[in-house]
Every structure is written in C-alpha cells, then in structure tokens.
C-alpha cells in the first residue's frame, strides 16, 4: 500500500475531528467563556502565571507533552502490524486524547491553575488528592528517567546532533529576552532561530562532540556520562522562569514539528514509498500480545496521562483566554497524533523492503531496542527522497527527538518540584516546603537514580529504559490518563453536563491499563525484577483505591448533582 494514502486518510480524519468534534466539546461540554478571567491574568507573577499568545502556548504545550514518546511508542507498536497501531493512534487521538488534554486545561483554569492531583481532592475527595499525587510522583519519575536515557542514547549514537541540540539554548534565551523584556514579536526571531538550528546540523556533522574522554576520566560509561550531564542541565533549565528558556524554545520546537512533518510527508509523496510491514504481524513466540499491550505501548500519540500534568501544571497558568483551550488542548493532541503517524511511516515505509523490516522487527526485543534507530533511519530515507543525504536526514531526525525530549524533561522536573512540595505539605515535612533549590535537586536525583539502574542486554542492548522501564511507564501513563478523565467526568456531572465524552475513553483505559498492570506483576515476579515489581504493585494499589474514590464521587454527583457555581 502507498504510504501517502495513510497520510491523507489520517489528516482528513483529524481535520473533521477538529472542525466538528472539538467544537462540540467547546460549546456543549466544556462551555468555554471568552469573558472568564484566566489564572494567567488573575494570578500573574511573571514566572509561572504568564498570559501567553495561543500560538506560543501551543508550541509550549505540544513540545512539553511530545518528547520522545509519540515516536518511540508507535515505533515499537508497529511490531504488531501497522494497522492496529495506526487505528489506535487515529481513534485514540480524536476521542480520547483530545477530550483529555482539552478538558484538563479547562478544569485547571477554572480552579486557579491547580494541578490535576490537587483538583482530585476538590472534585473527588480529600483522600483522592493524596492518592493521585503519589501516582503522579511515580509517573513523573518514570517520564524523566525514560527521556533522560532516550537523549543519552541519541547523543551516544549521533554525536553530530550535539551541537544543534546545544545551539538552540542560547537562541531560545535571546528570543525570550527579545519578546518579554523588549515586548517585541517572537515570530521573525523564532524563524531565524530555527534556520540557525538547521545550519548547525551540518556543522554538527562536521564537528561531532564525544564525551568518551570525560567518561574515561571519571570511570563511567559514555551513556552514563551523558545521562548525568543531561540531568545537570535539566536542574538549571527547570529553575529558570518559563519565559527565559522554556516558552521560546517551545515555540522553536513547535515550528520544528511543522517542518519535520512537512518534509517527512513530502518525502513520502516524492518517493511514493510503500508500506513494507504487514498490516497485522504474526509475532514471535513468547512475545506480548497486542491486546492489551498496544494500548500502553502507544502512549503519547493516542492518549497520555502526562499531558494532564502539563495541561494543569503549566499550560493552564499561561492561558490568555479560555476559548484558546480548544486550539491548544485539542489542537496539540492532533499534533501528537500526526507525529505518531510520521513515526509509524518511518518504521514501516522508511526501512525499505519487507526483508529489511522483518530483520529489524524479528522479535519484540529488537522492536523495542531499535525503536529510536528505526525512526531516525526511516526519516533519513524520506529526506533522501528530497535530495538530502540520508546521514544528514538522520541527524535532523535525532535533533528533533532530542530537543523535544529536552523540553519535556524541563517541564517534567518543574512539575516534579511542585508535586514534591505538595506531598511535603501533606506529610508535614516543613523543612522541604518553600525550599525550591532542594526540591529541584530531589526532583532531579530521584529519576536520575532510576535512569542509572543497569539494564543488561535486554531489548536489543538498549538496557533498562526500553528493556523494562518503558512497560511500567506505559501502564502508569495510561492509568493516569484514565484517572484524569474521571476527574473531568465528575466535574462535568457536578455542573449537569453530559459526561459521556470523558466516561467512554475512561472505562476503556482503566480496563486496559489495569489488565496490563496485572500482567506486568506476573512478568516482573517471574523475572525476579523486584524494583519494578514493588513499583508496579504500589501503583496498582493506589490506582485501585483511587478508582473506588472516583466511582463513589460519580454516584454522588449522579444522584444529587452539586450544580456548583462556575469558578471565578
């Protein structure tokens, strides 16, 4: 099948979803009010609460939630065949992710920009808040650990991507000063910044950066050295006001997404590449079945609980007008879906003949361990159709993943700091409350420790991040999405609105993720994987308890809606 036909079908579906379904959500379900004073204005502090133009905010929201997940997840999931992977991406994006991301922004904005964990205490119960905060803590730890390893793998295997990934930092800082200190438009400088980033790609190829000498001097592996350097950078980045680095870099990355999708889709059209992978693959013996594992492997790109943390943790604090939540939330979800589509194409049409695909996806370990490489090489092939050398195209793809993952880690550590402070307040640990530097250090050291856990030779030699950690990340991530939908559903019921848009994907996700958690428990026990066994069991207990709290709240509101007044 020509790969370009999948692009047309998917993008047409996304267009009609935004035009009609997101409008229905905005007008009938969430009932957006253009006169509502958002927290960005009411609580403006110039650091976290900053009214932001919707296009800049979309860039921040998208690149914060995207990271490597909408690439890695689909790149692994095509192991079960391109048809189930693409079907879940399309349907999950339209009917689950859009509702989830959009709703998380609205509910948070209506509650003074509070994060989704705190909102669970207000909407569901006081116990629910504590339970949800603990689940979020686990999720953020997994997100930051996984993405730190992802970036380290790419820096180690693509040293030519180091200079382009670094050059975007001073460019973003300059743009931040230009826009927020001098009050000037960000559009032209960001375009120039993007061009400088692309100029730096061949420079990076000519002058690759290696840390082998440093690694040898300190007695560490190259990958471990990169992981430590990445987390050290993240500590600094997460302490800066959002307008200094996070927002302008997000805007550049938002434009980079558009460029990446255009060149990938154009490369598919010019080369008229065909899908080399089977629609439904006959997997190797002892491989996990696509049901339910497909729905936790494809996290971002279909629906992701991490999105609710960003939507309620940073995006809602920068929302200039409530009506823009549709553009940022639902539009950002569609952008994720488009990126997931690009990943599926790169790993099915970009790898060449069917024999090449069968070798790359010989078993689930090869699929998991080689996911990033398959995307990078497949994208390099698409760019070669446009006359760009495949090696240069591969570096371009690596830079896209690295810059997205870096932004996600910046946001993730920032959110982890907020969560740790709230947990400290609940636990009465006064020595941590208000200690921003100490909280940031803890928010970095905890996932750093997890990222440094040895992974052996599993998952194609890629170690812990893909051999074992990704599975638990996927279940926790999707479970968090289901729990966020429960909060949105209860919030809607309390206002006598139809909650079915949130309840249908909620039931589906809770079923799939609970099933996967139970399967993981057996797998971790059989392999003697005690660290992940304990984490999986703790997450399962917290989730089950929180599900009971949410079900009780649903019944309460169904029988006697509180009809709470809209927050002001």
Higher pLDDT, 422 or 170: 170
Q: How far is CA 259 from the centre of its chain?
A: 19
Instruction: Enumerate long-range contacts of 193-198, CB under 8 Å, 24 or more apart.
Output: 193/168, 193/248, 193/252, 194/252, 194/255, 194/256, 194/259, 196/167, 196/171, 197/164, 197/167, 197/168, 197/171, 197/252, 197/256, 197/399, 198/164, 198/396
pTM of the model: 0.88
- CA atoms of 430 and 333, how far apart (whole Å): 38
- Among candidates 550, 469, 537, 538, which has minimal Cα distance to 509? 550
Name the token pair of 140.
Answer: 């953020």
- CA atoms of 525 and 523, how far apart (whole Å): 5
Q: What are the backbone dihedrals phi and psi of residue 452, each rounded to the nearest 5 degrees, phi first?
A: -90, 0
Name the token pair of 46.
Answer: 């110039």
Q: Quickly tell me which residue has 């680095």 as its tokens.
A: 245
Q: Is the pLDDT of residue 9 over 50?
A: yes
Reported as a single tens digit per residue, the pLDDT across 458-491 is 444 444 455 567 777 888 888 889 889 999 999 9
Q: Is the peptide bond before 384 cis (omega within 30 degrees of 0)?
A: no
SS3 assignment, position 52: strand
End-to-end CA distance of the chain: 53
SS3 assignment, position 241: coil
Confidence at residue 461, expressed as pLDDT on a 0 to 100 scale? 43
Q: With 0-12 CB in 10 A as exposed, 13-18 as middle and 19+ as buried, what is 306?
A: buried
Judge whether 264 and 34 are in contact, CB under 8 Å: no
Confidence at residue 365, expressed as pLDDT on a 0 to 100 scale? 81
- Among candidates 320, 518, 542, which has minimal Cα distance to 423? 542
Confidence of residue 176 (pLDDT cuts 50, 70, 90): confident
Q: With 0-12 CB in 10 A as exposed, 13-18 as middle and 19+ as buried, what is 182?
A: exposed
- Among candidates 290, 269, 258, 273, which has minimal Cα distance to 367? 290
Mean pLDDT to the nearest integer, 344-355? 84
Domains of the chain: 3-559 (1.20.1740.10)
Q: What is the mean pLDDT of the chain?
A: 88
Reported as a single tens digit per residue, the pLDDT across 207-239 is 999 999 999 999 999 999 999 999 999 999 998
- CA atoms of 110 and 99, how far apart (whole Å): 16
Q: Is the pLDDT of residue 101 over 70?
A: yes
Q: Is the pLDDT of residue 537 over 50?
A: yes
Q: What is the residue-wise DSSP string for 220-233?
A: --HHHHHHHHHHHH
- CA atoms of 252 and 168, how far apart (whole Å): 8
Judge whether 460 and 466 are in contact, CB under 8 Å: yes
The CA dihedral of 106, 118, 150, 290, to the nearest 10 degrees, is -80
Confidence at residue 300, expressed as pLDDT on a 0 to 100 scale? 80
Q: With 0-12 CB in 10 A as exposed, 13-18 as middle and 19+ as buried, what is 289?
A: exposed
- Structural element, H or E, at residue 565: none
SS3 assignment, position 136: helix
- CA atoms of 458 and 461, how far apart (whole Å): 5
Higher pLDDT, 467 or 549: 549
Q: What is the residue-wise DSSP string for 78-134?
A: GGG-HHHHHHHHHHHIIIIIHHHHHHHHHHHHTTTT--HHHHHHHHT-HHHHHHHHH
Residue 350 CB-half CA count within 13 A:
33
Reported as a single tens digit per residue, the pLDDT across 12-48 is 999 999 999 999 999 999 999 999 999 999 999 887 7
What is the DSSP code (8-state) at residue 289? P
- CA atoms of 553 and 241, how far apart (whole Å): 37
Judge whether 186 and 248 are in contact, CB under 8 Å: yes
Q: How far is CA 270 from the centre of its chain?
A: 30
- Among candidates 37, 125, 156, which has minimal Cα distance to 465? 156
- Among candidates 302, 299, 378, 391, which has minimal Cα distance to 343? 378
- CA atoms of 543 and 541, how far apart (whole Å): 5
Q: What are the backbone dihedrals phi and psi of residue 327, each rounded to the nearest 5 degrees, phi first?
A: -65, -45
Higher pLDDT, 165 or 466: 165
Q: Is the pLDDT of residue 518 over 50?
A: yes
Judge whether 533 and 521 are in contact, CB under 8 Å: yes
Name the token pair of 66.
Answer: 């995207």
- CA atoms of 468 and 459, how far apart (whole Å): 8
- Residue 48 CB neighbours (<10 A): 18
């Amino acid at each position: 099948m020509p790969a370009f036909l999948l692009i047309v079908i998917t993008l047409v579906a996304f267009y009609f979803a935004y035009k009609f379904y997101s409008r229905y959500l905005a007008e009938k379900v969430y009932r957006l009010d253009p006169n509502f004073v958002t927290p960005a204005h009411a609580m403006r502090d110039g650091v976290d609460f900053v009214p932001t133009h919707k296009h800049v905010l979309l860039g921040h929201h998208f690149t914060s939630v995207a990271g490597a997940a909408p690439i890695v997840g689909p790149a692994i999931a095509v192991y079960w065949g391109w048809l189930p992977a693409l079907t879940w991406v399309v349907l999950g994006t339209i009917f689950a992710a859009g509702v989830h991301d959009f709703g998380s922004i609205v509910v948070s904005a209506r509650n003074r920009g509070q994060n989704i964990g705190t909102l669970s205490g207000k909407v569901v119960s006081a116990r629910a808040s504590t339970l949800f905060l603990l689940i979020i803590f686990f999720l953020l730890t997994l997100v930051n650990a996984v993405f730190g390893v992802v970036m380290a793998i790419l820096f180690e295997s693509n040293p030519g991507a180091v200079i382009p990934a670094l050059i975007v930092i001073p460019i973003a800082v300059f743009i931040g000063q230009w826009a927020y200190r001098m009050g000037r438009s960000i559009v032209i400088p960001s375009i120039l910044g993007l061009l400088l980033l692309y100029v730096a790609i061949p420079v990076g190829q000519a002058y690759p950066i290696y840390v082998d000498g440093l690694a040898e001097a300190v007695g560490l592996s190259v990958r471990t050295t990169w992981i430590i350097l990445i987390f050290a950078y993240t500590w600094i980045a997460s302490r800066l006001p959002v307008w200094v680095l996070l927002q302008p870099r997000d805007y550049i990355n938002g434009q980079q997404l558009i460029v990446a999708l255009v060149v990938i889709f154009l490369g598919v059209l010019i080369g008229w590449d065909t899908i080399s992978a089977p629609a439904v693959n006959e997997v190797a013996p002892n491989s996990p079945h696509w049901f339910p594992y497909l729905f936790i492997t494809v996290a971002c790109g279909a629906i992701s609980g991490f999105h609710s943390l960003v939507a309620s943790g940073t995006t809602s604090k920068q929302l200039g007008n409530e009506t823009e939540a549709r553009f940022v939330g639902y539009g950002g979800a569609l952008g994720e879906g488009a990126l997931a589509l690009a990943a599926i194409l790169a790993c099915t049409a970009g790898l060449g003949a069917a024999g090449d695909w069968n070798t790359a996806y010989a078993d689930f370990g090869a699929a998991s361990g080689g996911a990033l490489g398959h995307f990078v090489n497949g994208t390099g092939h698409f760019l070669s159709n446009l006359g760009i050398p495949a090696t240069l195209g591969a570096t371009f793809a690596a830079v896209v993943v690295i810059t997205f993952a870096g932004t996600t880690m910046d946001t993730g550590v920032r959110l982890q700091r907020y969560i740790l402070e709230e947990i400290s307040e609940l636990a009465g640990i006064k020595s941590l409350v208000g200690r921003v530097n100490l909280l940031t250090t803890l928010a970095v050291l905890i996932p750093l420790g997890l990222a440094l856990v040895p992974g052996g030779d599993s998952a194609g030699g890629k170690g812990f991040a893909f051999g074992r950690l990704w599975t638990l990340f996927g279940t926790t991530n999707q479970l968090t999405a289901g729990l966020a939908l429960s909060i949105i559903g209860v919030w809607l019921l309390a206002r006598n609105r139809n909650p079915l848009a949130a309840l249908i994907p909620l039931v589906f996700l809770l079923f799939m993720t609970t099933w996967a958690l139970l399967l993981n428990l057996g797998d971790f026990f059989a392999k003697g994987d005690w660290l992940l066994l304990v984490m999986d069991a703790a997450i399962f207990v917290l989730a089950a308890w929180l599900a009971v709290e949410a079900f009780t709240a649903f019944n309460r509101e169904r029988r006697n809606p509180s009809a709470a007044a809209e927050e002001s």
